[in-house]
Amino acid sequence: MPETSAPRGPLARLIDIRPGEGQALAWSWAYIFSILAAYYVLRPIRDQMGVAGGIENLPWLFTATLVGMLALNLPFAYLVKRMPRARFVPITYRFFAANILAFALALYLAPPDWGIWIGRVFFVWLSIFNLFVVSIFWATIVDVFSNDQSKRLFGFIAAGATVGAITGSATTAILAKNVPTWGLMLCAVVLLEVAVFCMRGLASLSARLHAVPGSETVSDGQDRTIGGSVLAGVTRTLASPYLLNISLFLLLFSVTSTFLYFEQAGIAKRSFPDRGAQTAFFASVDLAVNVLTLGVQLFLTGRIVKRLGVGITLALLPAFSVLGFAALAVSPTIGVIVAFQVLRRAGNFAIARPIREVLFTVVPREDRYKAKSFIDTVVYRLGDQVGAWSFTGIQGLGLGSTGIAGAAVPLSVAWLLNSLWLGRAQDRRQAAMDEPAPDPAALRRDAP
C-alpha cells in the first residue's frame, strides 16, 4: 500500500525517514540482512577449511582469489550489458546459490581424502562471493536512492548488514555441532533466494524514489538495459579521475587494514601463547566491533554526514588511522592494538563504508555496476596483496612492529588527503546534476 504523509513516529524521526521512504528502507534492510547472514553462515566453514589446508598456503589462496575476481568481472559485465537489473542481479545471486549446492553435494558424496582440496577451492570461492554479492547490493541501493537519501539512510541500511552478520554467525555456532556442513550450506542457499525476493521488492519502488542520473526516467518502475562495453568497468575507471580516486581510497584502506590485521595476529600470538586464549581474544574483538558498529549505524551515521559533509566524514577513518598507527609505533602493546582495531573496524563498517557508497550516487548507471564491481572486488583484493607482500618485505628488513606502523602513517596521511578530494569532487558533481536543464522554448526565443 502506498505510504501517506501521516505524522512520523519516534523511530522515523530518530533516523530521519521521510514520507514514502519506509517501504524501500525495509526492503533494503531485509536484502542486506539476508546476504550477510548467508555469508556468515558460510564463513566459519571457510575458516575451518582454510586452516585444515595449511596456514602456509593461505597467501596462495589469496592470490587465487584475486585471479578469480578478475575472471568473474567479465561475465558479470556481459550480463549488465545485455540485461536489465531485474534479470542480471537474480541471475548472479542464483549462480552463487548453485555453486553452494555444488559444494554441499561434493562434501556429501566425496571421499574424505578430497576434503582438503574441496576446502581450498571453497576458501577462494567464498572470498570472491563475499565481495561480489555485497558490491551488487550496494550498486542496487545506489541505483534506487538519491544522493540526499543516501546521506541520511545508508548508515541505517548498513545496520542490516551488522544484524545479518550476527545472526548468521549465531546460526552456525548453534547448529554446527548437530547439523552437517552441507546442511548449513543449504541454509545459505535459502537466504540468497530471500535476497533475490527483497531485491525485486526494492527495485519496484525505484521510480517512485528518484529519477536515476545518467539514464532516462521510466514511469513503470522497471529499469532499462544498461548496455555499454564488457570492459567498461576497467576502461571507465582508468579514464576517470573521480573513479581512480575512489579506487585509491579503497586500495589505501585495504593495504593499511592488512598491516593492522597482521600486527594484531603477531601481538596476539606473543600475548596469548594458548590457542584457546587467542580464539577468545579474537571473539571479544569481534563482539566489541559489532556492538559499537550497530549503535553508530542505527543512530549516528546519518547525523554525522549531515553535519560534516561527505568529505570530512570520509576523512574521519584515515585521520584516526594516522593517530592509531602513530600510537602503535610508539607502544605496540595488546591494549593499543585492541583499542585501535575495535574503533577502526567499527568506524569503517558504521561510517566509512556507507558514506563511500554515497560517492557512486553521482556517476552514470553503467559505472555503478561495472566500475563499482571492478573497484569493490579486484582493487580491494589487489590492496590485500600489496599489503601482505609489503608487510613481509618490511619484516624482512628487520624493522619489526614499529617500522610497520611507521610505514602506515604516511599511507594514512595520503588516504586522508584523498578523502577530502573525493568529498569536494562529489559535491561538485552533485551541484552539476542539480542545475536545472535549459528550457528548449527559451533557447529557441534567444536564438538569432
Q: How far apart are CA 282 and CA 396, in angstroms?
A: 26
Burial classification of residue 363, based on how many CB atoms lie within 10 Å of its CB (0-12 exposed, 13-18 middle, 19 or more buried): buried
| pLDDT given for residue 211 in this prediction | 43
| pLDDT given for residue 218 in this prediction | 40
- Summarize the chain as % helix, strand, coil (round to 5): 85, 0, 15
Please name the amino acid found at residue 116.
I
Q: How far apart are CA 95 and CA 111, in angstroms?
A: 26
| pLDDT given for residue 47 in this prediction | 60
DSSP, res 360? G
Q: Read off the C-alpha cell for 322.
A: 594516522
Instruction: Give this prediction's pTM.
Output: 0.79
Q: How far apart are CA 245 and CA 417, in angstroms?
A: 10
Coil, strand or helix at 300: coil
End-to-end CA distance of the chain, in Å? 52
Gyration radius of the chain over CA positions: 22
In order of 76, 370, 381, the CA distances from 82 in angstroms are: 10, 13, 27
Q: How far apart are CA 256 and CA 245, in angstroms?
A: 16
Q: How far apart are CA 144 and CA 368, in angstroms?
A: 11
| pLDDT given for residue 12 in this prediction | 64
Q: How far apart are CA 244 and CA 418, in angstroms?
A: 10
Asked if residue 202 lies in contact with residue 27, where contact means CB atoms within 8 angstroms, the answer is yes
Residues with Cβ within 8 Å of 216's Cβ and at least 6 positions away in sequence, in order, are: 224
**Tens-level pLDDT at each residue, the chain (448 residues):** 344 444 556 656 667 777 878 888 999 999 999 999 999 888 777 665 554 444 455 566 677 878 888 888 888 888 888 888 888 899 999 999 999 999 989 888 877 777 677 777 887 888 889 888 999 999 889 888 888 888 888 888 988 998 998 888 888 778 877 888 788 889 999 999 999 999 999 888 776 665 434 433 343 444 677 878 888 889 999 999 999 999 999 999 999 988 887 777 677 767 766 655 655 566 567 777 888 888 888 878 888 888 899 999 999 999 999 999 999 888 888 888 888 988 998 899 889 999 999 999 899 988 998 999 899 988 998 888 888 778 778 777 777 777 888 889 999 999 999 999 999 999 999 888 877 655 555 435 444 4
Return mean pLDDT, the chain. 81
| pLDDT given for residue 276 in this prediction | 55
**If you count them, how many residues does the chain have?**
448
Q: Read off the C-alpha cell for 169.
A: 554467525
Asked if residue 127 lies in contact with residue 343, where contact means CB atoms within 8 angstroms, the answer is no
The residue whose grid cell reads 577530502 is 420
Q: Read off the C-alpha cell for 235.
A: 576502461
